[in-house]
Structure 1
Amino acid sequence: MSPKELVIALFTAAFADHDPEAARQLVTQDYIQLNPQVPTGADGLMGLIPLVEQSGMTATTHRVITEGDLVVLHSTFDNADAFGAPTLAAFDIFRVEDGKVAEHWDNLQPVPETTVSGRGMTDGPTEITDLEKTAENKALVLGFVHDVLGGAAPEKAAMYSKVYMQHNPMLADGIDGLMEGTKAWAEQGNVITKFEPQIVVAEGNFVFVASDATVSGNPWAFFDLWRVEDGKIVEHWDVVSPTPAEMVHGNGKF
């Protein structure tokens, strides 16, 4: 199986079929788990699957982005009260090694009933296009992350986008909406002093970046997905959450 097929098979075994033995065949024994609440190793994942089945939680995957040995799933979890909220938006990242899934990162965020832009956290285009522009689009997005989100040159924001459709529930459309929302968040005491990309996965018109951040002295994780069209960023989704100080393993968040 390709990395994408392997990851989808694992996700199906775990979250649709609730089949621990089928899932075990798809992961390495020393499967590295970065979710802060799930024990590391294959046994940790197998222990999670019955809990998912008992909770009644269901998963819907909206986008699958693949580059090399990394696969990103953009999903919605419904009936997820046992895991923190009725509905959760999620990004899951999997690393494949020698035909098995070897490592997993994720970030989850409750989905609110309303959003500032009127868009949901996971709706919008899903088709992957412009595969020949993958490297170019990745460079564009990483420049945006460095200059705008990382704060190196926020005055350059407008050069990266003219139409910026926003799926972050707290932000309005447009680059101005992003900048005004970021400013308002800072005025509420949420000052970003570090924003460092850790994982980047690009496929055609979609570029995903997982970043380790510090907000007012506390660790946060920002998982962002951008859609690029004609050399400009046109759409953005994200899942943002504070990183807990205590985890059930020693692997950290990244």
Structure 2
Amino acid sequence: MNTVYPKEEKRMSAERNKEIIRQCYEQFFTHRDLTRLTEVIGEGFVQHSPDAPSGRQAYLDHLAEAAFFGGSSDIKLILADGDHVAVHHNMKLAGEDGEGLAVVDLWRLENGRIIEHWDVEQPVPEASRVPNGMF
């Protein structure tokens, strides 16, 4: 009999959730494609960002029109703990010069579906103001 212990199950869930989120970023930012997000965003999706709507379809519609659609994301770190995945990345808006934004997105998944999102973002300042770097 192959027994999966709670700690191992949580680790496996975290790895699966990290991969789901990584795929979403890759498809959205690299290929300008919402397909993977459409597959994994749950119907009762809850948004905690003041600039984006809650609800599956409302959020997908928002993403298709958002300033960062067509932009880029350079993922610096993805961390996961069970159902939560944090992504620290450098996002640049389409057609924008400069260093972009330092962003931390926090996602909550349930049974492989994205059901909640929070974010914190700030413009990347001049290198001289951050001697240790933003990333």
TM-score (normalizing by structure 1): 0.42
1:66 alignment partner, one of 77, 80, 88: 80
Q: Which runs of 5+ in 1 are unaligned?
A: 123-254
How far did residue 112 of structure 1 move? 1.1
2:33 alignment partner, one of 19, 25, 29: 19
The 1:121/1:54 distance shift into structure 2, 3 A limit, reads closer
Determine which structure has more spread, i.e. the larger CA radius of gyration.
1
| Equivalent residue, structure 1, for 2:19 | 5
| Equivalent residue, structure 2, for 1:149 | none
Q: Deviation digits for residues 187-212 of structure 1, max 9, x if unmatched?
A: xxxxxxxxxxxxxxxxxxxxxxxxxx
2:44 aligned with 1:30, yes or no? yes
Q: Deviation digits for residues 131-154 of structure 1, max 9, x if unmatched?
A: xxxxxxxxxxxxxxxxxxxxxxxx
Alpha-carbon distance in 1 for matches of 2:94, 2:67: 11
Alpha-carbon distance in 2 for matches of 1:107, 1:53: 16
1:90 alignment partner, one of 103, 106, 109: 103
Alpha-carbon distance in 1 for matches of 2:68, 2:20: 25
SS in 1 for 2:31: coil
Q: Deviation digits for residues 129-188 of structure 1, max 9, x if unmatched?
A: xxxxxxxxxxxxxxxxxxxxxxxxxxxxxxxxxxxxxxxxxxxxxxxxxxxxxxxxxxxx
CA-based RMSD of the aligned residues comes to: 2.5
SS in 2 for 1:35: coil
2:115 aligned with 1:99, yes or no? no
Matched AA of 1:70: H
Deviating above 6 A after TM superposition, structure 1's stretches of 4 or more consecutive aligned residues are none
How far did residue 35 of structure 1 move? 1.3
Matched AA of 1:11: Y
| Equivalent residue, structure 2, for 1:39 | 53
The alignment of Structure 1 onto Structure 2 pairs a total of residues equal to 120
How far did residue 94 of structure 1 move? 0.6
SS in 2 for 1:48: helix
Counterparts of 1:155-234 in structure 2, within 5 Å, are: none
How far did residue 18 of structure 1 move? 2.3
Contact 1:61 1:74 in 2 (8 A): yes
Alpha-carbon distance in 2 for matches of 1:101, 1:11: 13
How far did residue 81 of structure 1 move? 7.3
Alpha-carbon distance in 2 for matches of 1:107, 1:81: 22
SS in 2 for 1:2: helix
How far did residue 46 of structure 1 move? 1.3
Counterparts of 1:144-155 in structure 2, within 5 Å, are: none
Alpha-carbon distance in 2 for matches of 1:86, 1:54: 14
Matched AA of 2:83: D
2:121 alignment partner, one of 100, 108, 122: 108
